């Protein structure tokens, strides 16, 4: 299987737009498109733990394909999580229903020396195997995304031991233990670069770096810790994979100023950044924008007097008109929420494809 050539890509809209070329229709996909809002995924989860699905290439492939069978999205994203990296470094992570990821023993200054870098990429080979298998099963229908968390975001979860409103424990390292923080981020940047390279070599056609926790950093901390690591990953990866397309969604306003200098082909933004902030630069910017509809726009209560479907279509059309159709990949500004109606998801995707270029 590994050595068989991958099927030819049929729908290459996303790859085209990432390169700055004009597609036949605007491409659209959704972060967490394989998640809990879909009954098929819930069914799969009934008999398997979250990380069992991630670690079993057959199951990870199956989860990845669920939204592809149901909707006309223009990309698949390999079923996994950003927290498989700390796992490969030797940390325990559990997925607790209703809570999210939990580390029973969060990282401390003392336990940092126990992180096991040796062989980390081979311990993540199951992700590569899932990617290769999925590329074959997709049969070229749409491109397959690989992904990783960025060093700051992965570090936040390792130190906090899970999600947090403030990320104050992780930020304490930046203020009080800057050397240890830098050491940790350097280590993570190295693993993440090698991990993404392994995914690309396994068949990922586009890779995305999630720096979701960047919203907790002010400009100074962002410039000192967030930005250099993101740039470093892009430049090291590009050096090693000249031809690869790389994407980094940055969920914070402060990153908008660096759009052109980040070294990524695509930059994701959330709904708090108005299209006019990047739109004004659409003519001359050299990057593709991904985003940015509020996932709550997909809540479409059937009993409401206003026609929610029409309202959603109108929001999609307005967003696209505001961004302009050049160098735009349509997505939500955040992952789709578990209580979203799959019908609303379909309306969203179809509304994007209905826009004439
Ligand atoms: C489906 C899913 C995922 N992760 C989690 C779930 C739900 C788990 C379940 O079944 O119980 C837990 C899961 N994993 C995580 C969280 C967030 C926890 C928190 O902050 O409270 C949860 C609930 C951590 C995580 N995980 C991820 C990020 C970065 C993007 C973002 O900001 O959403 C982060 C921060 C990335 C991620 N996570 C996942 C993907 C798969 C592909 C797809 O998009 O369909 C991706 C790309 C998959």
Range name among 127-136, 140-149, 263-272, 334-343 with the lowest pLDDT average: 263-272
Contact present, 31 and 342 (Cβ < 8 Å) = no
| pLDDT tens per residue, range 73-119 | 999 999 999 999 999 999 999 999 889 999 999 999 999 999 999 99
pLDDT band at 22 (very low <50, low <70, confident <90, very high): very high
d(Cα 332, Cα 341) in Å, to the nearest integer?
A: 15
Ligand 1 proximity of 338 Cβ (cutoff 6 Å): no
Ligand 1 proximity of 147 Cβ (cutoff 6 Å): yes
Ligand 1 proximity of 225 Cβ (cutoff 6 Å): no
Taking each helix axis from N to C terminus, what angle separates 227-240 and 178-202, rounded to the nearest 10 degrees? 30
Ligand 1 proximity of 32 Cβ (cutoff 6 Å): yes
Instruction: Find the DSSP H helices in 35-167.
Output: 39-47, 50-55, 57-70, 84-88, 120-123, 125-138, 151-160
Gap from CA of 154 to ligand 1 centroid (Å): 12
Report pLDDT for 240: 84
Residue nearest to atom 34 of ligand 1 (CA): 82
Distance of CA 48 to the CA centre of its chain: 23
Ordered structural domains, the chain, with CATH: 13-354 (3.20.20.210)
Report pLDDT for 287: 86
Q: Which residues pair with 300 in a beta bridge?
A: none
| pLDDT tens per residue, range 118-153 | 999 999 999 999 999 999 999 999 999 999 999 999
225 is catalytic: no
Task: Give, for ligand 1, the residue of 29, 32, 333 to mutate: max count of ligand atoms closer than 8 Å to Cβ.
Answer: 32
Ligand 1 proximity of 94 Cβ (cutoff 6 Å): no
What whole-number percentage of the chain has pLDDT above 70? 92
Query: Which residues make Cβ contacts (< 8 Å) with residue 243, sequence separation at least 6?
Result: none
Ligand 1 proximity of 95 Cβ (cutoff 6 Å): yes
pLDDT band at 263 (very low <50, low <70, confident <90, very high): confident
Report pLDDT for 151: 97
41 is catalytic: no
Contact present, 68 and 138 (Cβ < 8 Å) = yes
CA-closest candidate to residue 275, choices 333, 231, 212: 333
Exactly one of 12, 37, 135, 157 is catalytic; which is it? Answer: 157
d(Cα 207, Cα 268) in Å, to the nearest integer?
A: 12
| Residue length of the chain | 357
User: Mean of the per-residue pLDDT values for the chain?
Assistant: 92
137 is catalytic: no
Q: How many helices (H) and strands (E) does the chain have?
A: 15, 9
Report pLDDT for 279: 63
| pLDDT tens per residue, range 59-77 | 999 999 999 999 999 999 9
Report pLDDT for 253: 72
Gap from CA of 110 to ligand 1 centroid (Å): 28
d(Cα 116, Cα 118) in Å, to the nearest integer?
A: 6
The CA distances from residue 188 to 148, 155, 196, 248, in Å, are 11, 8, 12, 16
């Amino acid at each position: 299987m590994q050595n068989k050539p991958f099927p030819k890509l049929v729908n290459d809209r996303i790859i085209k737009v990432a390169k700055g070329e004009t597609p036949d229709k605007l491409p659209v996909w959704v972060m967490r498109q394989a998640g809990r809002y879909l009954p098929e995924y819930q069914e799969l989860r009934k008999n398997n733990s979250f990380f069992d699905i991630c670690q079993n290439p057959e199951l990870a492939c199956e989860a990845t394909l669920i939204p592809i069978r149901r909707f006309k999205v223009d990309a698949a994203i390999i079923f996994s999580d950003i927290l498989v990296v700390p796992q490969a470094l030797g940390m325990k992570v559990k997925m607790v229903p209703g809570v999210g990821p939990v580390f029973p023993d969060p990282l401390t200054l003392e336990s940092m020396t126990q992180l096991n870098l040796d062989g980390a990429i081979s311990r993540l080979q199951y992700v590569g195997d899932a990617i290769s298998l999925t590329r074959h099963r997709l049969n070229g229908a749409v491109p397959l995304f690989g992904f990783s968390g960025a060093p700051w975001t992965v570090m936040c979860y390792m130190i906090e031991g899970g999600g947090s409103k403030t990320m104050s424990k992780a930020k304490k390292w930046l203020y009080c233990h800057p050397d240890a923080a830098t050491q940790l981020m350097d280590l993570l940047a190295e693993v993440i670069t090698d991990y993404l390279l392994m995914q690309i070599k396994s068949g990922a056609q586009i890779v995305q770096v999630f720096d979701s926790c960047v919203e907790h950093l002010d400009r100074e901390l962002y410039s000192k810790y967030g930005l250099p690591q993101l740039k470093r990953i892009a430049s090291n990866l590009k050096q090693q994979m000249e031809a690869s397309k790389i994407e980094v969604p940055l969920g914070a306003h402060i990153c908008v100023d660096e759009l052109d200098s980040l070294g990524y082909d695509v930059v994701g933004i959330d709904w708090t950044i108005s299209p006019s902030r990047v739109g004004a630069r659409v003519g001359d910017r050299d990057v593709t924008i991904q985003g940015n509809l509020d996932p709550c726009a997909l809540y479409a209560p059937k009993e409401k007097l206003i026609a929610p479907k029409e309202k959603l279509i109108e929001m999609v059309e307005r967003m696209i008109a505001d961004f302009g159709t050049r160098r735009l990949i349509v997505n939500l500004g955040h992952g789709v929420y578990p209580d979203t109606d799959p019908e609303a998801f379909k309306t969203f995707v179809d509304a994007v494809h209905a826009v004439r270029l």
